[in-house]
Structure formats: structure tokens, C-alpha cells
């Protein structure tokens, strides 16, 4: 994992995630998160967290972006890079549910960057979820 300034190629993705975080609907937790996915076709797709008074129905920013990407480009999409912006002072990597959902669509070389106002972290997506569930035997 690297910390510090992100590689310049990630800046448009980070900016898109930050813009999405500003649109968060999080009246119950105040936890504002945005995500941006760069697909292998170079498209950038964003999502933000949307809470419900029934917390179990809340959707994370990463899954919101993934659902939108599939709706716009189809299930053959592959994710090249993932950015997660947190407006709450600490970088937050994707949660376990988001990691598993993203794993189904992540390209082998996919990178993830998560950041807050004061800190940036990045790593290969495979390091974030080294033992993703799959249905392959052996």
C-alpha cells in the first residue's frame, strides 16, 4: 500500500469521487462517501452512498457506482481503477460487501485509491480482497 500523493493519472477519478461524495444522502450517520470507477473503456462512472432510515437498506457509494456502470454499459464491464472519497477526515476503503461485488468486475490489474482531505492510500485491488468468494473449484 502506498500513502501520500496519488499518481497524476488518478486525479480525474479522485475529483469525480469527491464530487459524488458531496451529493451523499446521509442524514442519519453524516458519513459522506463518493466513489468513481474507471472502466477499461475509459469511462468514469460515479456513485454516492444513499441511506435509509432502515439502515439495512442503505447502499454504499461503491455499489451505487457499480450498479450504474452495469446499467449504462452492460455486464461485460471491467473496472480498471476505483476511487473512494470520504468527507469525514479519514480514508475509508470499500467495505466487505463492496469488495466482493467489485471483485466480480475488477480487471486483474485494477487499482483502488481511497482518500480523505488529509490522506491518500492506494493499492492493487487484489491486495484489498485476496480471497474473494468464487464458484470455481480447485
Q: Which residues are catalytic?
A: 62
Q: Measured between alpha carbons, how far is residue 104 from residues 37, 79, 95, 132 in Å?
A: 14, 9, 15, 9
Residue/partner pairs of 97-101 with CB below 8 Å, 24 or more apart: 97/60, 97/63, 98/60, 98/62, 98/63, 99/128, 99/129, 99/132, 100/129, 100/132, 100/133, 101/62, 101/63, 101/66
CB atoms within 10 A of CB 42: 7
Residues 6+ apart with CB under 8 A from 106: 78, 79, 82, 125, 126
Amino acid at each position: 500500500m502506498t500513502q501520500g500523493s496519488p499518481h497524476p493519472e488518478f486525479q480525474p477519478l479522485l475529483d469525480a469521487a469527491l464530487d459524488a461524495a458531496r451529493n451523499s444522502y446521509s442524514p442519519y450517520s453524516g458519513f459522506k462517501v463518493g466513489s468513481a470507477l474507471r472502466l477499461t473503456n475509459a469511462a468514469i462512472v460515479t456513485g454516492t452512498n444513499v441511506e435509509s432510515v432502515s439502515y439495512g437498506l442503505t447502499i454504499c457509494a461503491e455499489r451505487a457506482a457499480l450498479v450504474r456502470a452495469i446499467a449504462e454499459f452492460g455486464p461485460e464491464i471491467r473496472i480498471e481503477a476505483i476511487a473512494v472519497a470520504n468527507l469525514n477526515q479519514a480514508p475509508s476503503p470499500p467495505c466487505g460487501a463492496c469488495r466482493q461485488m467489485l471483485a466480480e468486475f475488477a480487471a486483474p490489474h485494477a487499482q483502488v485509491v481511497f482518500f480523505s482531505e488529509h490522506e491518500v492510500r492506494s493499492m492493487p485491488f487484489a491486495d484489498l480482497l485476496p480471497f474473494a468468494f468464487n464458484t470455481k473449484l480447485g
